A and B are shown apart, each in its own frame.
Chain A
Amino acid sequence: MINGIAQGLTAYFVWPGLLVSALLGWLFLWLSRKLVARMQRRFGPPFYQPFFDFVKLLGKRSLVPAGMSPLLYYGLPLAAVISITLVLAVLPLPGGVRASFTGDLILVLYLMEMPAFCDVLAGFASRSIYGQVGASREAALILGYSLPFIASVSALAIQAGSFRLEDVLAQPFSAVHVLAGLAFVLAVPARLKSNPFSIPNAEQEIVAGPHVEYNGPALALFELAHALEFVAVASLFALLFVPRLPSAGLTLLAYLGAALLLVVLTSLLAAATARLQIHRAFRFYWTWGALAAAACVVVAVIF
């Protein structure tokens, strides 16, 4: 019992939870910024940058915006961080806990939406018009990217006949994985709010979107949640679509490779595109995203 709790706590706070994922997330964020900088032929930020940004924000004095309850102001980013860390703790990554239970995949999907929901709530609660417009855009975008995202994960579940991660992972690699993987990748840029789907936090239009009123430690938590989300999306991608290798070390390397591939792809896309307006982004997901979603679900049902 004590052992179990200790194991759970380690999974939550150290690996694959908060500590390692935060470091990994900062590394990914830096890599993404650096890659984009390289594609623009400039130096870009030094590699400790996201960490220093986080610490600096933690060390700033906070101003709770007028008309917003402090509970909401601090609670929302905290909820975002807690839920996304929980996702990481539950994922059966090598070295993590194997506490698999029926429906844990649904829990993961649900918790992964939490940071975005917290963003939307923060935007609406901020009483700033920019925050509200940003929040409504983000809400619309969630509706868009959820279609291929949830469909791709569900296709695997349908194929396995269970929403239990262990069962899903036990399936042999097949055509469903390829199609579902494509649908998953399609959803990634919008999930991470990178170009061309950076519309909810479009600086040139609505200042900083839902985070406009946030500052200091609360903003730091949102930034942390974003870094963790990066890791969670990459881990889920690696877990679901990279075949497991015989040794844990090799598997971990393969996972890392897949995650880096995802980082490179999103950075490349971000560098090569302009920001799309919300209706175009929405249309994109409800045509191409829907197509990919339908394809992988149909294939999963047939096979």
Chain B
Amino acid sequence: MPYRIPIGPYHPALEEPYKLNIQSKGEIVEDVSVEVGFVHRAIELLAQRRNYVQDLVLVERVCGICSNIHTLTFSMAAEQIASIRVPDRARYIRTIMAELERLHSHLLWAGVGSEDIGFQTMFMEIYALREKVMDVLEIISGNRVNYSMNCIGGVNRDITDPDTVLAAVREIRAGIEKTIIPIFTANRTILARTRGVGVLSREDAVAYGVVGPIARASGLAIDVRQDFSYAAYEELGFKIVTQDTCDVMARVVVRALEMLESCRLIEKALLELPGGPLRPSELVTVIPAGEAVARVEAPRGEVVYYLKSDGSDTPVRVKIRTPSDLNIPSVRAMARGQALGDMAIIQASVDPCCSCTDR
């Protein structure tokens, strides 16, 4: 019996509104089409109407999950135009924030993924661990989600108490190593739902141009942190994680190992945190005329910002390209021939972020 099943735009499996039109025969998926644009807020347009200080707050709200990355990339683009050198301490703090954000984003993903396969206990366990990351973020920045840490030329806040952060990160690392990884790789019901499910072959990954953990789970060793190092990654020595089984399990493993790498980076950065100023003394900097492109590895993949300035206090053009933009269409390649019941976890394995995609 052929079905046409819409998942979304408002559906419990989806964190955010987007629509999957599933064409299925019985419980086997034949084809999927994806519809996005439900959260289009015209952020690029608004950014061109507001000044640089306001824009930093605005682009932070492109996405609530990877908010810090957006301000970081925007600041990097502006710094490039104005040729500002970011102080060393600020570069380290930026790295720490970016990696903490990756930790919380990947944990969030793991929680949502467990919920999508109906594993409530793991969801609870992961979210309990994630609260520790959120606590650290709140201690550092004063807010749990939108940290407003970056400013053009540096960071707004200092990490005043590195020891607390260090202790918390070690606790998180122990939680990931001792609970999450063993259960995800050993529990039979989880394996039944993830192994061999939602395969995206290396060729398809190249054809769809996927980025981030999905590309790395399909055997492509691409990562901005390695290829075009920024912030303090070069000093800290970043190691890339790849897998080549290309299924949902591979994406789980890539993200799990990436979390461990993040913990290592944060610990190293905290121990080697250099002294010095956090930002240039002038709060509102003037950006001269010019244009720049900045790229950063967000939790979901590469974020690209293009910024053009005419020397006034508002940018002429802000173009944002987010990783989910490239990753979401690949659901199509993953879904064909899969069971209908697996669609929730397949779409979740991409970690689609619609507020990023739609902007």
Contacts and interface: CB of A to CB of B under 8 A. Distances in A.
Q: Do chains A and B touch in the complex (CB under 8 A)?
A: yes
Interface stretch (A166-174, A218-226, A239-247, A274-282): A274-282
A175 B344 CA distance: 44
B336 to A, nearest CB: 17
B5 A129 contact: yes
Contacts of B114: 274
A294 B300 CA distance: 51
A40 B121 CA distance: 6
B340 A273 contact: no
> Looking at chain A's contact residues, is the secondary structure mostly helix, strand, loop, or mixed?
helix
B3 interface: yes
Contact of A273 (B3, B11, B189, B339): B189
A33 B7 CA distance: 28
A274 B340 contact: no
Contact of A40 (B120, B189, B343): B120
A195 B12 contact: no
Interface in B327-346: 339-344
B124 A42 contact: yes
A133 B339 contact: no
Contacts of A199: 341
B346 to A, nearest CB: 11
Contact of B341 (A40, A42, A129, A278): A278
B228 interface: no
A271 to B, nearest CB: 5
B281 interface: no
Contact of A274 (B3, B11, B27, B187): B187
Given A133-B3, A196-B189, A204-B13, 10 more contacts: A40-B121, A129-B4, A129-B5, A196-B118, A204-B117, A205-B13, A205-B343, A207-B11, A273-B119, A277-B27
Q: Lowest 7 CB-CB distances: which A-B pairs, in order?
A: A275-B118, A274-B119, A40-B124, A274-B189, A204-B13, A277-B341, A274-B117
B16 interface: no
Q: Output the residue of B116, B125, B187 with the most chain A CB within 10 A.
A: B116
A274 B118 contact: yes
Interface string A257-287: 0000000000000111111111110000000
B326 interface: no
Q: Output the residue of B117, B122, B190 with the most chain A CB within 10 A.
A: B117
A203 interface: yes
Nearest to B348: A204
A262 B243 CA distance: 42
A133 B117 contact: no
A208 to B, nearest CB: 9
20 contacts: A36-B121, A39-B121, A40-B121, A195-B118, A195-B120, A196-B118, A196-B189, A204-B115, A205-B340, A270-B120, A272-B121, A273-B189, A274-B118, A274-B187, A274-B192, A277-B339, A278-B339, A278-B341, A279-B27, A280-B192
Nearest to A270: B120
Contact of B118 (A130, A202, A280): A202
A41 interface: yes
B15 to A, nearest CB: 11
Nearest to A42: B124
A113 B331 CA distance: 39
Contacts of A39: 121
Interface in A146-197: 195-196
B192 to A, nearest CB: 6
B30 to A, nearest CB: 15
A126 interface: no
A198 interface: yes
A203 to B, nearest CB: 5
A63 B341 CA distance: 29
A274 B190 contact: yes
B12 A207 contact: yes
A278 B343 CA distance: 13
Q: Output the residue of B124, B187, B189, B341 with the most chain A CB within 10 A.
A: B341
B121 A271 contact: yes
B128 interface: yes
A271 B120 contact: yes
Contacts of A279: 27, 339
B193 interface: yes
Nearest to A195: B118
Interface string B48-87: 0000000000000000000000000000000000000000
Nearest to A203: B12
Interface in B1-32: 3-6, 11-13, 27
